[in-house]
Every structure is written in C-alpha cells, then in structure tokens.
Structure 1
C-alpha cells in the first residue's frame, strides 16, 4: 500500500513539473515572437509617399521666358548664322534700311562684306537685324555700359538735417552753406531748422531771409521742397531744400542764356523759368 502511494506521488510531481516547464517555455516564445511580428507588420504596412512640389514642364512658358530675357538684354550679341526667322528686316553697317531679306541672302551678304549680324528688335514683324563690324559692336557695347553706369541708382531719398540759431555769425553761416551745397550736389534733401535767439530782437522775416541767403549760394542747383514755416510754437522756422530736376536745370540754363543774350532781350523773347526762385 505504501509503495502504491509513493508511486502515485512521484507521477503527480512529474506531471506538475512538466506543466510548469511548458508554461515558462510558451511565455518565453510569445515574448520573442511578439517584437518580430510587430516589426514585420510595420514593414508590410504601405507608406504614403511624401508630396514634393515640382514645377510643371511647359515648353511654352520656357520659350516666353527666354524671349523676355532676350528682349530685356541690352548687350549686343552676334547672332552669327542662327537666324530663326525666314524673312528679316536688315539695316547695313551705316544704318541704311535694306528692307526685308531672306536669311540665306543675309548670310551670303555677311560673308561677302565680312560683317556680323546683331538683333535690333525681336518684337518687330519681321524681326529687325543690323549688319555691323566687330569694331562697331565693341564701341556700341562700351557706349551702353557707360550709359548704364550714368543711370541714377534707385533707392530711398536721403535727408540730412541741420539746426542752428538765428544769431549765427556770417563766417559760420558760410561754412554751413558749403556743407548744405555738398549734400545737395549728392542729391540729398536738406532740412534746415533755424531757432530764434532768446534775447535777440529778430523779426520772423529776418530769420526767413537766412534761408534765402543760403539758397542764393546755390543758383541753378537747389530749390525749396517746402518753403520756410513756423514750428515748435513759433520759436523756430524750418524748410527743406532739394536738388533741381533735369527739366528745372534746363529751364534755369535757358533763362540765364536769354538774360545774357542782348538780341533776345531787345526782342522780348525771354520766358520765365519753371524753377521755384527764392
């Protein structure tokens, strides 16, 4: 009887150990396979392609852009034998109009006279070209370059400010007038403020005369942008000077020439200038 009980107890212990081992093994297998399964699912999931903005391809737009660049380009370029239009209008090296010509005839004329072909106006119908020598092209490029340099650079107008008292000495006033003239010649605007001296008995028109005195040192160069006016409760006067425009400079020069021409003066042909005089 004791042997039977011992045998049954042994079998029960073996069965329990096997169940415990199986549970541990299955738990270990689940932990190992779970990350692999999740990574495989993530890898198999489709990804949305990122949208990248791209410029639409269009030969029409590109052609129009190239045409605008050629139209706006002021540099002279020898087109050589690449004449796109079949019929073009041709000018010779002296500027004479040769009329409309076939491009084959133009190429033959270039070879005969050893000339270059330069496009003058691509927007004309038919396009306009000119025959030029190499020296003419070089000189014209230099002229256009100098013309480009002479153009005024666009930018904000610079304004200088100057303040002094109405009882300023003559020497100091001349010094300040020279400084103002230097600014005006650089196309600056100059705002001048003159404070009335506290213990000086200077009437307002006396202070205003100082502005005109300064302006008279720059004849044909400067004029009023804003005339003298009272500020700070009447304790000061201010005005703004500017450089003359091209039209005003010409009008001033014409008026001075007419004043010095005795014939025009006798005939009464003088006319007033558009410049605002002090």
Structure 2
C-alpha cells in the first residue's frame, strides 16, 4: 500500500482500531475516538497502517516524517536497481575488414560501459545458402571473438537460423 492510500486521523472509518505507539508497543484495541485523543495529546498523527486486519492496525506517528522516509526508501531502491542494456550490432557477410573493425571498436566501447552487445550476422538471398553461410559466418564469428578477446565473452553458442547468426557478448567482470 502506498502512502497516498493511507488514512490519517479523521479519515479512519473503523469504529475500533488496534493502536501501536511510536516505539512499536501495542496499546491494545480501542475506539477510534479514544485513539485520536491520544494522538492529539502527544501531538502526532494516527495513521492506519493495515486497514485489512480485524480490527485495523493504526500507528501513532508523525505522518509528514513517515511519508518523507517512505519516499526516501523508494528512491533508494530505484537507485539500486540495475538496468541491463543490450546494444545490437548488425553485420553483413561481405563486410569490408575496416568497416568490421569500426563496428568492433563500437562494441568495445559498449562492453567498457558494461552493456551487453548482441551481434547479428545477416544473410540475404543466396547468402543464406548453407555452405556460404557456414563458411562466411564462422569466419566473421572468429574475427569478432579474436578482436574482443579480454573485453567480452560469449554468453552461449551462436543461434543459427535461416537468415542470420545471432550471439550475445557479455562484458568481462572487472576485478576490484
């Protein structure tokens, strides 16, 4: 339940609530009016933490501070999340050696940034013939692996279908 859905003070509709103080000690089950009086005496808010319980659980806390801490926690958890980025590089079988080296330099830049790099060797028309595809595809695959030695490692065996050979390179984990 997000903090936007929490009921505070007079918004609590239950007749009886289980009250917990700031330190987590249970004050027992009491009428909502009495709980609101206690909260008012202490100068804090009565917040319905668990509305689905029977009776609902309410906590005596400073709602503004509680809300601030919840927002802070969600921001921290978002910072810790790591998004996996996959960059794709497409190669034709009759690519010039210099053009291939440029694409491989881009792949090294991506791997240095800890991105995964997906290579697709695309075949069109007669290039898709089995004998041509096997020879040319393996030749390009070997060049890519040799060039990226020490920078990236292949995740699994290349996937070969009718019109393409696809494989994924992972960045080599840096030792701290």
Q: Same fold (TM over 0.5)?
A: yes
For the structure 1 residues 214 and 91, does the alpha-carbon distance in structure 2 shift closer, same or farther, using more than 3 Å as the test?
A: farther
> 1:179 Cα deviation (Å)?
3.7
Residue in structure 2 matched with residue 193 of structure 1 by the alignment = 120
As a proportion of its length, which structure holds more helix?
1
Residue in structure 1 matched with residue 58 of structure 2 by the alignment = 129
SS in 1 for 2:10: coil
Q: Partners in 1 of 2:87 and 2:103 — Cα distance?
A: 22
As a proportion of its length, which structure holds more strand?
2
Does structure 1 residue 142 correspond to structure 2 residue 142? no
SS in 1 for 2:106: helix
SS in 1 for 2:4: coil
Q: TM-score, normalised by structure 2?
A: 0.58
Q: Partners in 2 of 1:93 and 1:215 — Cα distance?
A: 58
Q: Partners in 2 of 1:179 and 1:231 — Cα distance?
A: 26
Does structure 1 residue 228 correspond to structure 2 residue 158? yes
Does structure 1 residue 207 correspond to structure 2 residue 141? yes
Relative CO higher for 1 or 2, CA cutoff 8 Å, sep ≥ 6? Answer: 2
SS in 2 for 1:117: strand
RMSD: 4.7
For the structure 1 residues 237 and 82, does the alpha-carbon distance in structure 2 shift closer, same or farther, using more than 3 Å as the test?
A: closer
Residue in structure 2 matched with residue 38 of structure 1 by the alignment = none
Q: Partners in 2 of 1:237 and 1:218 — Cα distance?
A: 18
Does structure 1 residue 174 correspond to structure 2 residue 105? yes
Q: Partners in 2 of 1:90 and 1:206 — Cα distance?
A: 70
> 1:239 Cα deviation (Å)?
1.3
Query: CA offsets per residue over residues 153-176 of structure 1, 9 Å max, x none?
Result: xxxx98744226595676752333
Q: Partners in 2 of 1:118 and 1:212 — Cα distance?
A: 62
Q: TM-score, normalised by structure 1?
A: 0.41
Residue in structure 1 matched with residue 91 of structure 2 by the alignment = 163
> 1:131 Cα deviation (Å)?
1.3
Structure number with greater Rg is 1
Gaps of 5+ in 2: 123-131
Gaps of 5+ in 1: 1-71, 244-251, 261-278
CA contact (8 A) 1:78 1:116 kept: no
